[in-house]
Amino acid sequence: MSLFLVLGVFRMNNIGKKYFDLEYMDILARGRSPLHRLDPRAKLMTTLLFIITVVSFGKYTLLALIPFLMYPVFLVSAGGLPAGYFMKKILTVLPFVLLMGIFNPVIDRTIVARVGAVDISGGWVSFLSILLRFFLTASSALLLIALTGFNAVCGALTNLGVPKPFIVQLMFFYRYLFVLGDEAHGMDRARALRSSPAGMVRTKTFFSMTGHLLLRTFERAERIYRAMNCRGFDGRVPMLQPGRMSVRDFGFMAGWSFLFFAFRVYNVPLTLGEWLWGSLR
Amino acid sequence: MHMADALISPAVGATLWAASAGLIGYSSRKFKEEADDRKVPLMGVLAAFIFTVQMINFSIPATGSSGHLGGGMILAILLGPFSAFLAVASVLVVQALFFGDGGLLALGCNIFNLGFFPCFVAYPFVYRKIVRNHLTHGKIVAGSLAAAVIGLQLGAFGVVLETLFSGITELPFVTFVLLMQPIHLAIGIVEGLVTAAVVLFVFQARPEILYAVTRVEPIGAANMRTVLAGLLVATLISGGALSWFASSHPDGLEWAMLQTSGKEELESPLGLHASLESWQEKTAFLPDYGFKEAGVNVASEPLSGPSWPAVDAGTSVSGLMGGALTLLMTVCIGWGLRWRERTAA
């Protein structure tokens, strides 16, 4: 164990923040806008179609992707969601994409366009395209959960044929995430109160805490299992079947699918720009 | 090392979705066959444990970088491969949906990289081969360390291959491999040590959990063969069909449009130019297209005006203007909807 002692220090200060984040998404999902009331299947399918359409563009597509911003903007506005919160959330996962894409401008220096005296290389276009794609795909996935809630998405997945054991696992995991999070948060608070205010966790402390958290986890699992048995658990988890999809749900799906198709086929910004440029000259 | 939607092509995303979905189906069937109700809450709670521990970023000394636990190996050792695979997949689903870590299309890639390699390669072929059925301290440490390192190396290589086949980034293969593998070797060693420590702790405190997993039949060679054959078929079908579709439909179509419009343009000097230009400009910002446009623009020079000695000045400017206009419209629609929402509430 002495080897671990020299490995370094561990940081354990973002547990509370991250769990607050999870809870906040759940609170948002309890909203009452017309978008919240749509069938989860309709929202899930539309979001998947959106993502597939966005990534189906070539790597140098930039302009034609802009109209797709309409979907996340519509979801945020009509769903009454806090736009700034989602922007911040997306920015926290940006670094990996940034790291992977930043080589494009360095390597690909072919000039593809010129505005005034400024040359624009293919690398910059594809890099900006990656950033725009990232923003579109990441925001749509987050907004799906914020408008639907995790359990409803799980229900939609069951209807779409995802195997039951996996759904049960997803729901159990999500349910006990909060329970275990509270436990870990409490442990961390107790540790913080008894140690220096720096907020760093020493390696030895980290292992001891992790070990005890694991033991509590096992005990919790056994208690849950006994409680489930007392209530007649026989290995099956019954789930509520969602009703039929209404005309509104189909309308939402069909309307957006049509728009995605239109944006995929026609380069809307370019057509607009040509018209504007033409009338200005 | 979560793959993001923005970095993969639909063909790669769909292929790995098919592979991961197949593995989830297979693991679910195996889980049902095991018929151990006790595992239902244990899997859920252990996944929650891994999720919690993953939030603890540890710094790797002397490198200035930090890593977090994949946890796939711990789950495989404590739950067995099939249940562990389902648990890892569930963690990744929540990360994708709630934190935008990875993405929905890239979920297949992430489940494959972080679930398949530790659960179905490193666990049966490394950890179990080292530990066998005799649990000792030394064997547990050696097995966990080797399995975690190998699992993570394979996962990192998976990321490299997926990025390469998608072709969205310009990263050259060799540079990317040389970048990814050593970093993940360091992370793998740390992760292996943490895995070993956690497993040893369980071995001391609750040995029956580890013995219960070893009693369950390990994945036999025949079993793995079915899985791999299924995966191969799924990959070939979806990859083949989708890449054909992807290459012949959007890109191929655009290429064809480019070719035909380019030729027609040269034949008819000015009259049809305006209407054909709109076709041609649908593929604006394509690099090899820029050169073609330069040739064409000589003919249409008087049209675009002498003040723009540009490669395709008209396209660029109208493109910028159009882009700005579309953005403005989007923002206006958003504000309008929000205003309606507020006044209705």
Beta-bridge mates of residue A114: A119
Encoded tokens for A234: 């026989």
The 10 Å CB-count burial string (b at 16+, else e) for B225-237 is eebeeebeebeee
Is A280 or B233 the better-scoring residue by pLDDT? A280
Question: CB–CB of B88/B119 below 8 Å?
Answer: yes
Q: How many C-beta neighbours within 10 Å does residue A23 have?
A: 12
pLDDT at residue number B150: 93
Residues 6+ apart with CB under 8 A from B184: B1, B152, B153, B155, B156
pLDDT tens-digit map of A107-130:
888 877 777 777 788 888 889 998
Residue where the block lists tokens 């302009």: A63
B20 lies within 8 A of chain A by CB: no
pTM of the model: 0.75
Alpha carbons B60 and A275: distance in angstroms, whole number: 56
Kindly identify which residue of chain B lies nearest to residue A7, measuring between CA atoms.
B61
Average pLDDT over residues A44-56: 91
pLDDT at residue A73 tops 90: yes
* DSSP classification of residue B38: T
Residues 6+ apart with CB under 8 A from B340: none
Residue B70, phi then psi, degrees to nearest 5 = -75, -45
How close, in Å, is residue B46 to chain A by CA atoms?
Answer: 7
Residue B170, phi then psi, degrees to nearest 5 = -95, 0
Cβ–Cβ gap B53/A213 under 8 Å: yes
CA angle (B311, B317, B321) in 5-degree steps: 160
Minimum-distance CB partner of B43 among A142, A169, A264: A169
Cβ–Cβ gap A221/B46 under 8 Å: yes
Is A277 or B144 the better-scoring residue by pLDDT? B144
Kindly identify which residue of chain A lies nearest to residue B141, measuring between CA atoms.
A1
pLDDT tens-digit map of A196-216:
665 556 667 777 788 888 888
Q: Please, what is the average pLDDT of chain A?
A: 82
DSSP letter for each residue of B258-312: HHHHHHHHHHS-STTHHHHHHHHGGGTT-HHHHHHHHHHHHHTHHHH-TT---SS
Cβ–Cβ gap B86/A177 under 8 Å: no
Give me the residues of B, 191-230, that contact A with CB < 8 A: 193, 197-198, 201-202, 205-206, 209
Residue where the block lists tokens 């989860």: A40
A101 pLDDT band, cuts 50/70/90, is confident
Cβ–Cβ gap A113/B312 under 8 Å: yes
Cβ–Cβ gap A100/B35 under 8 Å: no
Residue where the block lists tokens 């789930």: A239
Spacing of C-alpha A158 from chain mean position: 20
Cβ–Cβ gap A235/B35 under 8 Å: yes
The yes/no answer to whether this complex scores an ipTM above 0.90 is no
SS3 track for B155-209: HHHHHHHHHHHHCCCCCCHHHHHHHHHHHHHHHHHHHHHHHHHHHHHHHHHCHHH
Cβ–Cβ gap B281/A142 under 8 Å: no
Sort out which chain A residues have CB atoms less than 8 A from B168's CB and list them.
59, 126, 130
- Written as one letter, the residue type at B255 is W
Q: Are strands A9-11 and B65-67 parallel, antiparallel or unpaired?
A: unpaired
Cβ–Cβ gap A177/B48 under 8 Å: yes
How close, in Å, is residue B197 to chain A by CA atoms?
Answer: 8
pLDDT at residue A195 tops 80: no
Sort out which chain A residues have CB atoms less than 8 A from B5's CB and list them.
51, 54-55, 133-134, 137-138
Alpha carbons B345 and B339: distance in angstroms, whole number: 10
Is A135 or B213 the better-scoring residue by pLDDT? A135
Alpha carbons B239 and B19: distance in angstroms, whole number: 10
Cβ–Cβ gap B56/A15 under 8 Å: yes
How close, in Å, is residue A245 to chain B by CA atoms?
Answer: 23
Average pLDDT over residues A34-56: 90
Minimum-distance CB partner of B251 among A58, A176, A270: A58
Angle between helices B273-280 and B252-267 (to 10 degrees): 160
Spacing of C-alpha B9 from chain mean position: 10
Q: Which of A250, A235, A31, A256 is nearest to A152 (CA)?
A: A31
Looking at chain A, list the stretches that DSSP marks H as alpha helix, in order from N- to C-terminal side: 2-5, 15-29, 34-37, 40-55, 70-78, 83-101, 103-107, 122-148, 150-159, 164-194, 203-230, 247-265, 268-280
Question: CB–CB of B69/B53 below 8 Å?
Answer: yes
Minimum-distance CB partner of B44 among A33, A97, A169: A169
**pLDDT tens digits for chain B (345 residues)?**
678 888 888 888 888 989 999 999 999 888 888 777 777 888 888 888 888 777 655 554 444 444 556 678 989 998 889 999 999 999 888 888 888 777 888 899 999 999 999 999 999 899 988 988 788 889 999 999 999 999 999 999 998 998 888 888 887 888 888 888 888 888 888 888 888 888 888 888 888 888 877 776 544 444 556 666 666 665 556 555 544 444 433 333 333 334 433 433 333 334 444 443 443 344 333 333 333 333 333 333 333 333 333 345 556 677 777 777 777 888 888 888 878 777 765
Cβ–Cβ gap A133/B6 under 8 Å: yes
Cβ–Cβ gap A112/B91 under 8 Å: no
Is B241 or A7 the better-scoring residue by pLDDT? B241
pLDDT at residue number B58: 52
pLDDT tens-digit map of A151-169:
888 888 888 888 888 988 8
* DSSP classification of residue B121: I
Minimum-distance CB partner of B285 among A60, A163, A210: A60
Average pLDDT over residues A11-18: 57
pLDDT at residue number A61: 84
- Written as one letter, the residue type at A72 is P
B297 lies within 8 A of chain A by CB: no
The 10 Å CB-count burial string (b at 16+, else e) for A167-206 is bbbbbbbbbbbeebbebbbebbeebeeeeeeeebbebebb
pLDDT at residue number A224: 83
Cβ–Cβ gap A96/B4 under 8 Å: yes
Minimum-distance CB partner of A173 among B13, B24, B94: B94
CA distances (Å), origin B268, targets B141, B275, B289, B302, B315: 75, 12, 19, 16, 20
Kindly identify which residue of chain A lies nearest to residue B195, measuring between CA atoms.
A207
How close, in Å, is residue A85 to chain B by CA atoms?
Answer: 12
pLDDT at residue number A71: 94
